[in-house]
């Protein structure tokens, strides 16, 4: 039996819901584009998970394609529940869930395709790092030689070869994170679910691991990462899922998500030689709600509800030679800003 | 897997191949997984803190036998005056202490922790995230428990039995073991101990899965096993000791209040306990299949 190599990247739909709807019934979101994937993705259809009366996640509809997807939300928002559902550790109370076309009732196939680095900082007792990975690969059914080969590859990827023969119990927090990551990677899954994988890593290790995630994404893996460090999600993710109180608040590429948040004016920064001229032109035009001059008077920050119209104005001013632009771009088209607009400032850094 | 297949094993997905594509399917895969589970569980158990209780229990009868070997009666005579008497003393120790206390509590400690221990350690998810059927996981863990308790307690029984002989000399020991039925008796004790591990193991496997705190249900099972001699014949069938008693080579009187009934034939006992263990594993598998990882609630 052979498997298809991972196919073309899919652009998932961006869906935005009013944060105020969290806690009330979920409303259908705005789809920005069709799912272009020709192969099965990670798909959740109307998935809910309740722990008794306690809501885990509610009515989640998601289609996650290859590449890096950031999962962002405050503590208790349902991130881990969503990851546990996708990884097959728990089952939905209602709804349907498939990972690469495999349902949770086919664990022998599912867990070959899924690697999950959980947030649990716990390990079987008495094992070295190498034994930990080899022994669980043996449980997959691999013969000892092949399990050892796969283990070495995984240890090399997380750069833990030299410490692999030490007991896991003697590892630092960062090393425990790495060995968990190696264990999740060792069987070469196509879907990698990572719950706060950068916790406890020193800055150098963070850079190395972020590079590894990017490399895995370029290899066509589906990498789902949760983090409460919005900056890391921002620089790493191809798309984001914002979750709050068990509801998906927004999902998609960050640009698409931001453009859907129409009730918040877009912030744009401009560095130019005549910011006063630009400010005057902007005020003469409807749509700008606020303009703020930079301290060095070499640029400005403006808020507008009609970015397209502003860019047309800029183009005209530049062509007429009234301003010379050094740099320009959106100032709040990042995860941090979108998160603040939709979720608020709880539980993230 | 043949040598040719083994050499074709790849550790990368290049060419659309996955390392798992070379793995056997069906029963072959399950066998390999059970073997791996057995090895991993034994490694963890033999080195784990939780097994210290089982080690201590296994050592207790040896200590008791050592005391009896060197102890003297009030008149100065040794405790083991004759080999027949020594065997009778051993049978009493075996039935009242080894079987009903050492093996029983050893099985409580080992089998209730097969799943419960990993939930407390928050490491069960590593198994649940492996592409292994939950039924295979139950079988592998149960067999590892049987292997561990058998190694420990069969070892204890063999050592304790052989400790009967030193007061009577080596030639007497060889004669009795090879020609006097000693080896047969030892074999019977070993067999009963193995079956006890199988039976009590199955009971405490399911107890560990059904109860967060297994102490009370284990106490209830202990009470049931202790009063089984008072039970009417029909109810006796629902105790493990009932199936073991008939195979013990030197029977022990159960006292004037015992409700006497014929123990089942050895073949019925063996098959009955194996069938019981299989039924329990089916029930345990159903329970484990529906388990979800929610360590916070445990």
Pairing between β-strand A67-72 and β-strand A222-226 as defined by DSSP bridges: parallel
Rounded CA-CA distance B107/B62 in Å is 18
Q: What is the mean pLDDT of chain A?
A: 81
| Cross-chain residue pair A188–B29, CB shorter than 8 Å | no
Interface residue A55 vs chain B (CB under 8 A): no
Give the angle subtended at the CA of A78 by the CAs of A75 and A81, to the nearest 5°. Answer: 120
What is the dihedral sign for C-alpha B131, B136, B140, B142? Answer: positive
* pLDDT tens string B24-58: 888 889 999 999 999 999 988 887 777 888 899 99
User: Do B292 and A90 count as a contact with CB atoms less than 8 A apart?
Assistant: yes
Question: Residue A204 pLDDT > 60, yes or no?
Answer: yes
| Among chain A residues, CA nearest to B17 | A2
pLDDT in tens, B105-120: 999 999 999 999 888 8
Across A203-217, A331-345, B60-74, B125-139, least confident range:
A331-345
| pLDDT tens, position by position, A112-146 | 999 999 988 899 988 999 999 999 999 999 999 99
Residue in A125, A131, A139 closest to B132 by CB: A139
CB of A124 within 8 Å of a chain B CB? The answer is: yes
Both ends of chain B: CA-CA distance in Å?
41
pLDDT at A258 over 80: no
Number of H helices, E strands in chain A: 11, 14
Q: What is the pLDDT of residue A31?
A: 32
Subunit contact A146:B11, Cβ cutoff 8 A: yes
pLDDT band at B16 (very low <50, low <70, confident <90, very high): low
* Cβ atoms < 10 Å from Cβ of B268: 12
Q: What residues of B are in contact with residue A157 (Cβ under 8 Å)?
A: none
Whether residue B33 and residue A139 make contact (CB cut-off 8 A), yes or no, is yes
Reply yes or no on whether the pLDDT at B1 is more than 50: no
Largest CA distance in chain A: 74
More confidently predicted of A56 and B180: A56
Strands of the sheet containing A94-99, edge to edge, are A54-64, A42-51, A94-99
Task: Give the one of A112, A126, A187 whose C-beta lies nearest to B48's C-beta.
Answer: A126
Residue A120 with chain B: CB contacts under 8 Å: 122-123, 125, 295
- Using pLDDT thresholds of 50, 70 and 90, give the confidence band for residue B270: very high
Q: Measured between alpha carbons, how far is residue A305 from residues A5, A235, A245, A290, A339 in Å?
A: 44, 26, 28, 10, 18
- Please report the ipTM that was assigned to this predicted complex: 0.80
**DSSP at A28:** -
B49 touches chain A (CB under 8 A): yes
Look-up of token digits 């997905």: B13
Label residues B223-254 b or e (16+ Cβ within 10 Å = b).
eebeebbebeeeebeebbbbbbbebbbbeeee
A116 vs B13 pLDDT, higher one? A116
A75 pLDDT higher than 90: no
Query: Which tens digits make up the pLDDT trace of A271-314?
Result: 888 888 888 888 887 655 678 888 888 888 888 877 778 888 88
CA–CA gap between residue B139 and residue A320 (Å, rounded): 80
Interface of A with B in 84-123 (CB under 8 A): 84, 87-91, 107-112, 114-116, 118, 120, 122-123
Query: Among residues A306, A158, A338, which one has the least CA distance to residue A239?
Result: A338
Q: Which residues of chain A does B19 touch, with a Cβ-Cβ cutoff of 8 Å?
A: 142, 146, 150, 187-188
Do A89 and B292 count as a contact with CB atoms less than 8 A apart?
yes
- Of the partner residues B6, B44, B126, the one whose CB lies closest to the CB of residue A126: B44
> Is 90 exceeded by the pLDDT of residue A48?
yes
Predicted confidence (pLDDT) at residue B137 exceeds the cutoff of 90: yes
User: What's the rounded mean pLDDT across residues A25-52?
Assistant: 62
At CA A235, angle to CA A234 and CA A239, rounded to 5?
55
CB contacts of B125 in chain A (<8 Å) are 89, 116, 118, 120
Say how far apart CA A14 and CA A18 lie, in whole Å: 13
Query: Does B2 have pLDDT greater than 50?
Result: no
Is A3's Cβ below 8 Å from some Cβ in B?
A: yes
Contact A225, A71 (CB under 8 A): yes
pLDDT at res. A4: 37
In chain B, which residues have their Cβ closer than 8 Å to the Cβ of A115? 129
Angle subtended at Cα A173 by Cα A79 and Cα B48, rounded to the nearest 5 degrees: 100
- Separation CA B18–CA A146 (nearest Å): 12
Please enumerate in sequence order all residues whose Cβ is within 8 A of that of A103, keeping only pairs 6 or more positions apart, or say none: A96, A97, A110
Helix axis angle for B83-93 and B51-70, nearest 10°, is 150
Residue B275's nearest CA partner among B204, B283, B101, B190 is B283
Q: Do B129 and A123 touch (CB under 8 A)?
A: no
Q: What is the pLDDT of residue A288?
A: 58
Mutate to test the interface with B, among A81, A138, A139 (most CBs of B within 10 A): A139
Mutate to test the interface with B, among A141, A143, A222 (most CBs of B within 10 A): A141
C-alpha closest to that of B21 among B10, B31, B32: B10
- pLDDT above 70: percentage of residues in chain B: 93
CB contact under 8 A, A150 and B11: yes
The per-residue pLDDT for A176 is 93
**Any A CB within 8 A of B158 CB:** no
For A157, the token pair is 């990827």
Residue A136 in contact with partner chain B when CB distance is under 8 A: yes
Max mean pLDDT range (A24-38, A306-320, B166-180, B185-199): B185-199
Residues of B in contact with A112 (CB under 8 A): 18, 20, 131
CB < 8 Å to B121, chain A: 122, 124-125
Predicted pLDDT at A60 = 93
Size of interface A-B (CB pairs under 8 A): 138
CA–CA distance, B216 with B219 (Å, rounded to integer): 5
The DSSP 8-state label assigned to residue B290 in this structure reads T
Q: Label residue A257 by pLDDT band (50, 70, 90).
A: low
Residue with tokens 């920050």: A301
What's the average model confidence in pLDDT over A168-193? Answer: 93
Among B129, B143, B295, pick the best mutation site for testing chain A contact (most A Cβ within 10 A). Answer: B129
Please give the DSSP secondary-structure letter assigned to residue A60.
Answer: E
- Contact with chain B for residue A349, Cβ under 8 A: no
Report the pLDDT value the prediction gives residue A315, as an integer from 0 to 100.
85
Question: Which is it for strands A42-51 and A54-64: parallel, antiparallel or unpaired?
Answer: antiparallel
Residue A7 has pLDDT above 70, yes or no: no
Comparison of pLDDT for A273 and A6, the residue scoring more:
A273
Q: Which of A90, A153, A162 is nearest to A128 (CA)?
A: A162
**The two structure tokens encoding residue B50:** 């939780």
Inter-chain residue contact A142 with B19, CB threshold 8 Å: yes
Smallest CA–CA distance from B31 into chain A, residue? A141
How many angstroms separate the CA of residue A183 from the nearest CA in chain B?
A: 9
Contact yes or no for A187 and B19 at CB 8 A: yes
For residue B21, give the DSSP letter: G
Contact (CB<8Å) B131/A110: yes
Decide if A146 and B37 are in contact by the 8 Å CB cutoff.
no
């Amino acid at each position: 039996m052979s498997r298809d190599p991972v196919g073309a990247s899919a652009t998932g739909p961006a869906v935005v819901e009013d944060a105020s709807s969290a806690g009330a019934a979920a409303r259908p979101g705005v789809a920005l584009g069709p799912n272009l994937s020709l192969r099965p993705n990670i798909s959740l259809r109307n998935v809910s998970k309740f722990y008794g009366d306690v809501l885990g996640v509610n009515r989640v509809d998601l289609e996650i394609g290859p590449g890096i997807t950031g999962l962002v939300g405050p503590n208790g928002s349902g991130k881990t529940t969503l990851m546990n559902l996708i990884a097959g550790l728990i089952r939905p109370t209602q709804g349907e869930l498939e990972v690469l076309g495999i349902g949770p009732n086919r664990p022998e196939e599912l867990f070959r395709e899924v690697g999950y680095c959980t947030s649990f900082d716990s390990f079987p007792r008495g094992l070295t790092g190498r034994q930990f990975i080899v022994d669980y690969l043996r449980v997959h059914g691999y013969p000892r030689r092949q399990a050892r080969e796969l283990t070495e590859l995984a240890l090399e990827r997380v750069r833990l070869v030299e410490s692999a023969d030490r007991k896991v119990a003697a590892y630092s927090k960062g090393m425990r994170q790495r060995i968990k990551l190696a264990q999740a990677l060792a069987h070469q899954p196509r879907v990698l679910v990572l719950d706060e994988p950068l916790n406890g890593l020193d800055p150098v290790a963070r850079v190395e691991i972020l590079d590894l995630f990017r490399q895995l994404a370029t290899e066509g893996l589906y990498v789902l990462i949760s983090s409460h460090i919005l900056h890391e999600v921002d620089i790493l993710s191809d798309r984001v899922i914002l979750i709050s109180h068990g509801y998906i608040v927004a999902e998609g590429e960050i640009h698409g998500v931001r453009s859907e948040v129409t009730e918040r004016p877009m912030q744009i920064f401009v560095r130019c030689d005549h910011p006063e001229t630009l400010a005057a032109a902007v005020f003469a035009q409807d749509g700008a709600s606020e303009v703020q001059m930079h301290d060095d008077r070499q640029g400005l920050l403006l808020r507008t509800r009609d970015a397209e119209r502003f860019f047309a104005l800029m183009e005209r001013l530049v062509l007429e030679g009234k301003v010379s632009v050094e740099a320009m771009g959106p100032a709040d088209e990042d995860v941090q800003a979108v998160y603040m607009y939709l979720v608020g400032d709880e539980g993230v850094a | 897997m043949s040598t040719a297949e083994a050499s074709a094993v790849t550790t990368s997905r290049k060419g659309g191949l996955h390392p798992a594509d070379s793995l056997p399917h069906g029963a072959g895969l399950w066998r390999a997984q059970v073997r791996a589970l057995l090895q991993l569980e034994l490694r963890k158990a033999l080195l784990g803190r939780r097994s210290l209780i089982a080690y201590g229990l296994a050592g207790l009868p040896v200590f008791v036998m050592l005391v009896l070997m060197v102890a003297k009666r009030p008149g100065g005579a040794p405790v083991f005056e004759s080999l027949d008497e020594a065997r009778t003393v051993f049978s009493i120790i075996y039935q009242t202490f080894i079987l009903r206390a050492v093996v029983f509590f050893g099985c409580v400690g080992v089998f209730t922790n097969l799943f419960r221990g990993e939930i407390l350690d928050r490491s069960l998810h590593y198994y649940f995230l492996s592409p292994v059927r939950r039924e295979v996981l139950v079988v592998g863990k149960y067999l590892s428990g049987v292997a561990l308790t058998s190694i420990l307690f069969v070892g204890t029984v063999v050592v304790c039995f052989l400790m009967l002989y030193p007061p009577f000399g080596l030639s007497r020991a060889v004669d009795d073991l090879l020609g006097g039925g000693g080896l047969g008796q030892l074999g019977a004790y070993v067999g009963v101990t193995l079956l006890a591990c199988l039976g009590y193991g199955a009971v405490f496997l399911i107890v560990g899965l059904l109860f967060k705190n297994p102490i009370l249900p284990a106490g209830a099972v202990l009470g049931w096993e202790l009063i089984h001699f008072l039970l009417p014949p029909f109810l006796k069938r629902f105790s493990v000791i009932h199936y073991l008693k008939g195979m013990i080579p030197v029977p022990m009187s159960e006292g004037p209040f015992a409700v006497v009934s014929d123990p089942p034939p050895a073949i019925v006992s063996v098959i009955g306990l194996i069938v019981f263990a299989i039924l329990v594993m089916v029930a345990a598998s159903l329970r484990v299949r529906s388990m979800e990882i929610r360590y916070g609630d445990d």
